[in-house]
Amino acid sequence: MAVQPIEPRAVLWDMDGTLVDSAEYHWLSWQEPLRRKGLQVTRERFLTTFGRRNDAVLRDLLGEDLADAEIVRIAAAKEEGYRALVREGGITPLPGVTDRLAALRAAGWRQAVASSAPRLNVATILDALGLADAFDAVAGEEDVTRGKPDPQIFLVAAAKLGIPPARCVVVEDAPAGLEAARRAGMRRIGVGTAHGALDADLVVASLAELPPDAFARLLAND
């Protein structure tokens, strides 16, 4: 009997908090730009903005009437500082990431980064991790006009891979990202405990805890 070919399938990875723990670098890189605007933000307040686009973060912190040009200026300074911290201090993948990426690639899965971060940030992180060749596509801040929980970033990433949304599994650490994946009609794996309870098809504290067939099982009935 002929073996039926496996339909194309993909994994879409959030980056910050999923591939790497970059919260400290983000926290540090926001300090000076916000101080210049006369604002001091507690770490707890900062964490409520994690994973959102810079324009949404800045309007949340500094007011809805903040000019677009000022958003661009502040965000650029913050991101330049963030990339410098990554290059100087280095960064390591979260537990289970490297093994899982390799296993999925060997099994024929397509993979993309789908992040609210600028693409230059994604490139800096992947270079630091030595994973620049691990992904078939990257979707970042420049590819969308709406941030998570809007599903746009995941739909763009799936389109770049040429994979239907129903054949995609999203890996996320934040409620807004998991909600975006749900709205996109994709399966969802929630990772970590930093944001409290996560609403997903499967939730684990670490990717290292995932059983080998976790991704395939999520799409088994589709």
> Pairing state of beta strands 202-204 and 187-191?
parallel
Q: Is 133 a catalytic residue?
A: no
Number of CB atoms found within 10 A of residue 98's CB: 17
- Residue 170 contacts residue 12 (beta carbons within 8 Å): yes
137 vs 158: CA distance, rounded Å: 9
Among positive and negative, which fits the CA dihedral 81, 50, 13, 103? positive
Of the residues 14, 99, 136, 201, only one is catalytic, namely 14
16 is an active site residue:
yes
The residue to which tokens 């959030």 are assigned: 14
Q: Round to whole Å and give the CA distance between 46 and 156.
A: 27
Which among 16, 65, 143, 150 is annotated as catalytic? Answer: 16
Count helices and strands in the chain by DSSP H and E runs = 9, 6
Q: Which positions are catalytic?
A: 14, 16
